[in-house]
Amino acid sequence: MMEDTVVATIKKNSRETLRVSLGEFEGNDLVSLRLWFTVDAESPERPSKSGFSLRVALIPELITALQEAEAEGHRLGLFRKENDHAA
C-alpha cells in the first residue's frame, strides 16, 4: 500500500474525529486508529499524538475485545438509550 486508506471516521465531539485506516509501515500491514482535530472551523484536520497501530492480523482479536466491552457496558447500564447500538 502506498498511502493509508481511511475505512471509517467516527465523530468524537465538535473538534475531534477518530479515523480508522489501513496502511503499511516497514513492510508490515497495519490498522491504525488515530484522533484527528481541528483548531477552528477554517483550519484543516490534523492528526493528534493520540492513537495506535496494530498488525492487520490482530483485527479479529480487537473486534472480539470491543464486542466484549460493548456487552459489559450494556450489562453495567453504561449506554444511554439514544446511543444504544445493540445488534
Give me the helices (H) in the chain, please. Answer: 59-75
Q: Which residues of the chain fall short of a pLDDT of 70?
A: 1-2, 81-87
Report the 10 Å Cβ neighbour count for 23.
17
- Residue 80 is which amino acid? R
Class in CATH terms, 5-81: mainly beta
Tens of pLDDT along 2-24?
689 999 999 999 999 999 999 99
State pTM to two decimals.
0.79
Rounded CA Rg of the chain: 15
Query: What pLDDT is attached to residue 87?
Result: 47
Query: What pLDDT is attached to residue 43?
Result: 86
Query: What pLDDT is attached to residue 9?
Result: 97
Written as nine digits, the cell of 25 is: 509501515
